[in-house]
Amino acid sequence: MTDTKRTRVAIQGRILYLTEDADQLAAQLYGGEQLAYDPARKLIDNISTDELTPGWVCYYYDETLARYCLVGLRGGVVKKDAIRGGGFGVIVSGISKGCGSSRETAPFSELTSGVQLVIAKSIEKIYGQNCQNIGLLTSTDFGLIERIERGESIEIAEFTKGLDPIGAAIVEHGGLFAYNKARLAGAVTPPAVATAARPMTLCEKIIASRAIADAKTGATGIVAVRPGDALFVRTDVRFSHEYVTAMAESLFRMGLGAEAQVQDPESVFAFRDHLTFLDRVMPEAHVALGLREQAASLATVQERFTSAQGVKLYGEVERDGVAVGSEGICHNIVIEEIALPGQLVIGTDSHTCMAGALGCFAFGVGSTDMANSWFTKDVRVRVPETARVELRGALRDGVCGKDVMLHLLSQPFFKSGEGIGKVLEFGGPGAAGLPLDERATLTNMAVEAGGFTGIQEADETVVDYLVEMRGLAAEAVRAGIVRADPGAEYCKVFDIDLGAIAPMVATPGDPRNGVPLASLGERVAIDIAYGGSCTGGKKADMDMYASVVRRALERGRAIADGVRLYIQFGSQHIRRYADSVGYIELFERAGVELIDPSCGACIKAGPGVSDRPGQVTVSAINRNFPGRSGPGDVYLASPLVVAASAFLGYIASPDQL
């Protein structure tokens, strides 16, 4: 095979500035106006993948996505076909482009709209890698704009600046499939990592142990890695859910042929957990567009794929002969049944990092990365820098892991985008004192910092959990535990006194908008209180909801007029736990609306979503990007605050009951 690489690229089409001025944006989209580059112009920051392709758009997984590019952008200016029909070759925006979900539909919608280049002040890690994988160019160099305006062809080297050798080669080849074809044919070889022995962080040690040392024999393990090293690593667990499996399968067949087979299917898992309750909340306008059938096809394609490939599918469950929900949200089940300390886990969901609570290196990938890994069993990694979050002391009553993360995310380091691509390694005596479920909240929300992943060293808390949950031998679990080396290097160290953290909320728009609850000022009246999702649907969360509900009932309170309180279980195991300790009876007596496992309202696909602007939700989910859980405003808070707010009718802590 001849190794063909691009050396220059000519960017065709208009330049679209995603400006905060709605009139200027509309003039570009619908009036044919071409704005001149103005560095003082305020561009939109923190454009999430939910805004690029809202949840309902992701029911498509082909070039239809081009028609709906950016239709979820705040303000509602971008309409169907506006990007595709505008002749745009470049899209320009502010900091943190592509934050949020790992959905590859987002950059794919831009690419198929005719966009060749995305320029932003900073680009989120998963979104940026997805762009590389599909051949969409990205840059943070605004100096390119004038050159493009002059009609210059641009050296491909301009788009590989700062990339590791593998990332650069993928860009040069026009995408991951083209690169991997050359790699598997021996036409291109990733450079060997030559880092000498050095003290390493948790994730660095796991990466080094899983590094592909010899592509021909498949041998793994090298002496050491350091931030910036680029390599392929062997995965222990690969999983996808119905939102993404169909697109990944399409890419798999397209890139490797109709007869391609998943390698080592015993380590591959699939979940029907995202759209389980979509029928309950799908707007009539979407039904009229045929989206009910389109969404249902995702589960059908996934079921057919897993059956043909011998992949375990966690599907829907029945109770008394009636389908009631999913077996569980993928992240909850990965912790309950699948992942182990020291393993490397990838999933087609940004919250894959939740499994870091078990002491494994777990991170989200896009459809192309997953499709490639089905065949190669490996995934590319550029060794990330690690920030150490040193926790000391103990949490006060009324404060929990969610408050810790909302406090951490509100720090300038993360609000400015400096946390993009970093690992958050939680440690210290305060971290060791947290129960596993609370650790999972911390690692789950590391991605809201723009982080690569979150991880905490496994200890006897993890050992005891895995022995009880899976019947594993304690010594076998301990044998997989990885510990950071003394003297390991960290790019940043946060020293946090848990006892100094107060109940927190994140105001609408971004999880990084955290403020102390007491600083909200005037009462914020609510319409919906939602407790659920992978972040807020664990056993410890059920304990918190129950403690507040019991206290409210003892004081003669009822759920406030006009407020609906939803509690959704993260898995059937968690539901059984809640039933065994009397929580279900307690919740039902209080008028709580209980929902079986599914991602649900967190992705605007189940009960608990808002259905009109002006509605206010206080939610235990992990992110509150515009439009993610409906058109209303979403405040993020702890399970304690969510439950208390439902009874008071406004955002409040339990001590106000």
Helix, strand or coil for residue 89? strand
pLDDT at 499: 98
CA atoms of 571 and 441, how far apart (whole Å): 15
What does the pLDDT look like over 611-620, one tens digit per residue?
A: 999 999 999 9
Report CA dihedral (109, 283, 316, 273) to the nearest 10 degrees: 40
CA atoms of 207 and 265, how far apart (whole Å): 22
CATH number of 8-173: 3.20.19.10
| pLDDT grade for 531, boundaries at 50, 70 and 90 | very high
Angstrom CA distances, 565 to 160, 560, 576, stand at: 49, 9, 20
In three-state form (DSSP H/G/I as H, E/B as E, the rest C), the secondary structure along 170-197 is: HHHHCCHHHHHHHHHCCCCCCCCCCCCC
CA atoms of 144 and 139, how far apart (whole Å): 9
pLDDT at 214: 86
| pLDDT grade for 16, boundaries at 50, 70 and 90 | very high
Q: In this model, does residue 79 exceed pLDDT 90?
A: yes
Identity at 45, one-letter amino acid code: D
**Residue among 319, 343, 331, 69 nearest 203 (CA):** 343
263-285 average pLDDT score: 94
Could you tell me what percent of the chain has a pLDDT over 90?
Answer: 89
| Average pLDDT over all residues of the chain | 95
Report CA dihedral (309, 318, 336, 129) to the nearest 10 degrees: 50
Domain ranges within the chain, ordered by starting residue: 8-173, 504-656
Identity at 407, one-letter amino acid code: H
Better-predicted residue by pLDDT, 604 or 489: 489
CA atoms of 292 and 286, how far apart (whole Å): 7
What does the pLDDT look like over 385-424, one tens digit per residue?
A: 999 999 999 999 999 999 999 999 999 999 998 999 999 9
Give whichever of 123-127, 213-217, 253-257 has the largest mean pLDDT.
Answer: 123-127
CATH superfamily of 504-656: Aconitase, domain 3 (3.30.499.10)
| pTM for the whole structure | 0.90
**What are the DSSP E strand ranges found in 498-626?**
504-506, 514-516, 528-531, 564-568, 593-595, 616-619
CA atoms of 145 and 523, how far apart (whole Å): 46
pLDDT at 2: 53
214-224 average pLDDT score: 89
| pLDDT grade for 1, boundaries at 50, 70 and 90 | very low
255-282 average pLDDT score: 93
| pLDDT grade for 257, boundaries at 50, 70 and 90 | confident
**Residue among 332, 378, 377 nearest 355 (CA):** 332
Could you tell me what percent of the chain has a pLDDT over 70?
Answer: 100
